[in-house]
Structure 1
Amino acid sequence: MTNEAQTVAELAVRATGVPTTVKTESGREFLVLPAGHTQHDVTPPNSLDVHRPKNIKQAVTLQNADALIEYLNRFKSTDSLLLADIAQSRIVGALDYHAPDKAALVEHRAILDLPYSEEWKIWTGISGQLQPQLEFARFIEENAPDIKAPAAADLIEAVRDLQAKRTVNFIKAVRTSSDNENFEYTDNTEARTKGELEIPTRFLLSVPVYFGDPPVEVPAFLRWKLDDGNLKLGIKLHRAEHIRQASFKLIVTDAVEKTGVLAVFGKLS
């Protein structure tokens, strides 16, 4: 049996000088113009049967955990599987995963790369770094809403004291009974008068780890260094990686509870 192209070509050779419309067995229609044996596909739109794939081959990138849950609930099967890569904050839903007694293509995937919250990026970005006292004071002032303890009034007072003591020489630091750090200094502009500056040594932040998540408590400690009369200060988050991993596990657990899809910690190669 000749194919469609051959059929059209043969009819074109035999055609008269009048344009001819040819309809093939598959339902396609061609307009044949004898001059030069030109042909044009004039099949009416949407008139042919569309051959649909037997399996879904699709990788979808989602932007939050709710979208992952909704997508899983729409396309999941009894063999679907969640693979949670805790190191990369990535969850992959393998919708057409292998069954125990049957191999599958594993070509339909829902991918969620959990984005960090802006607050988490700010505080982890500054963690462990020492800054000049004025820069540190400005940072604390700008990000004070993320600090749960000490009280806002006490923190603002300490920050203002830091900003006011820009030209003094710091001598030493003494830990107080209230577990604050008391910095002693001399002020050369005021007849070498001596003074003290007290700063909290422990902080409790309340920030979300991932975008859209509720805030979690993150302990932090004051870090400081005296360098030839200059005071440098910083914040060190306590066990930040443990807190991040705990938040990731909660997201995975929530996805399992809301979809019924089994989760394992690992990643697809």
Structure 2
Amino acid sequence: MEKQTNNSVPLDIAAISDLGDRAGSSIATLSLETAIAGVPKTIPVFVDRKSGSLSNVADLFERYREHPRRKSGTANVSTLDSLINIIDRHKTSDSVIFANTDWQKPSITAVFDYHENTSGGRADNLKHRAHYEFPLSEEWKAWAKINGKPLEQVEFAEFIEDHISELSAPDSMEAEDFRGKFGFKVAYPNELVALSRGLQVHAETRVKNNVVLQTGEGEITWDEEHRDAQGNKLTVPGMFILSIAPFFMGDVARIPVRLRYRVVDRKVNWICQLYRPDVHITQQVMRDLERVAHETELPHFQGTPEASS
């Protein structure tokens, strides 16, 4: 009997068997007396009658396979909606979802061929997946880039000028909350802009004196001949508020930023410190994870799946 293969070359089993018999070899079947999980009950082998050795015949048939034995590979999607759609296309009753909540590189991964959800259930291959890396917004990346990094006076002033639209006024609850936690008031956008423009005036001058006021704010005095509109003293707030979306086309978050400065050799270095950025990222990832799990009706976990074998 001939079997037509995908490359139009007939596979004549009878001829192969006859050739094997004449060569002193044959294809035989080994049977398992005791079942082994994940192993078929019978295995075809090639028997060399002269030496008595057994050889694998799977490769002989694999070359004629028209489809893979199982689904494998990882689809990388660029939107949350695409992740939901591809999960609905491939999910099984054992599929699961994992969310990596690392604020610096958050992601959601669906594993379609996950282990069976039963006591003593069969293990699966974990090789078929869909992966979504949250695309960080340009605004978030800009602030994350300077997070905790000392900036020279002009560099800091120019950065604030370039990102004026991302500053937000604190509401009454925020102002009271942060005053209670840190002992200073939160700056309004116009106050921060005035600070940045005052710094540009003092770009080439040295600090004469700096003190901490009773309000918790700082006050810097420059030693110079010319003065800005407020004189040569500038009040430095301890915190301001950003209103940006951490993820591209995502929900806007209100993110507090600590503002510190250090006077070294009568020059000022400025430091912006995002306040608990992990919280804002994690909250958004968890909201999106809940949405994916709800719409796909799959179990979900925080963490990363096992490596596929």
| 1:3–1:55 distance in 2 versus 1, CA, 3 Å | closer
| One-letter amino acid matched to 1:231 | V
Which whole-Å CA distance do the structure 1 matches of 2:115 and 2:246 have between them? 33
Percent identity between matched residues is 24
1:181 corresponds, among 188, 207, 218, to 218
Contact 1:130–1:223 (8 Å) recurs in 2: no
| One-letter amino acid matched to 1:168 | T
User: Following TM superposition, by how much is the alpha carbon of 1:23 offset from its aligned partner in structure 2, in angstroms?
Assistant: 10
SS in 1 for 2:287: helix
| One-letter amino acid matched to 2:129 | R
2:78 corresponds, among 63, 75, 86, to 63
1:93 corresponds, among 107, 110, 126, to 110
Contact 1:82–1:262 (8 Å) recurs in 2: yes
User: Following TM superposition, by how much is the alpha carbon of 1:262 offset from its aligned partner in structure 2, in angstroms?
Assistant: 0.7
1:255 aligns with 2:303: no
User: Following TM superposition, by how much is the alpha carbon of 1:235 offset from its aligned partner in structure 2, in angstroms?
Assistant: 0.8
Which whole-Å CA distance do the structure 2 matches of 1:69 and 1:23 have between them? 42
Within a 5 Å distance, the mapping from 1:22-171 to structure 2 comes to 51-53=66-68, 55-87=70-102, 88-99=105-116, 100=118, 101-149=121-169, 150-171=187-208
* Cα deviation digits, residues 25-52 of structure 1 (max 9, x gap): 99xxxxxxxxxxxxxxxxxxxxxxx944
**Structure 2 unaligned residues grouped into runs of 5+:** 13-64, 170-186
Paired position in structure 2 for 1:36: none
Contact 1:92–1:112 (8 Å) recurs in 2: yes
Paired position in structure 2 for 1:47: none
| 1:152–1:3 distance in 2 versus 1, CA, 3 Å | closer
User: Following TM superposition, by how much is the alpha carbon of 1:240 offset from its aligned partner in structure 2, in angstroms?
Assistant: 1.6
User: Following TM superposition, by how much is the alpha carbon of 1:206 offset from its aligned partner in structure 2, in angstroms?
Assistant: 1.7
| One-letter amino acid matched to 1:115 | P
| One-letter amino acid matched to 1:131 | L
Structure number with the higher strand fraction is 1
Q: Give the TM-score, by structure 1 length.
A: 0.74
Contact 2:240–2:258 (8 Å) recurs in 1: yes
Number of residues paired by the alignment? Answer: 227
User: Following TM superposition, by how much is the alpha carbon of 1:142 offset from its aligned partner in structure 2, in angstroms?
Assistant: 0.4
Q: Give the TM-score, by structure 2 length.
A: 0.65
* Cα deviation digits, residues 171-195 of structure 1 (max 9, x gap): 22233455532212221468xxx83
| One-letter amino acid matched to 1:56 | K
User: Following TM superposition, by how much is the alpha carbon of 1:80 offset from its aligned partner in structure 2, in angstroms?
Assistant: 1.0
Contact 2:3–2:10 (8 Å) recurs in 1: no
| 1:2–1:189 distance in 2 versus 1, CA, 3 Å | closer
RMSD across aligned positions (CA): 2.9
**Structure 1 unaligned residues grouped into runs of 5+:** 6-21, 27-49
SS in 1 for 2:232: strand
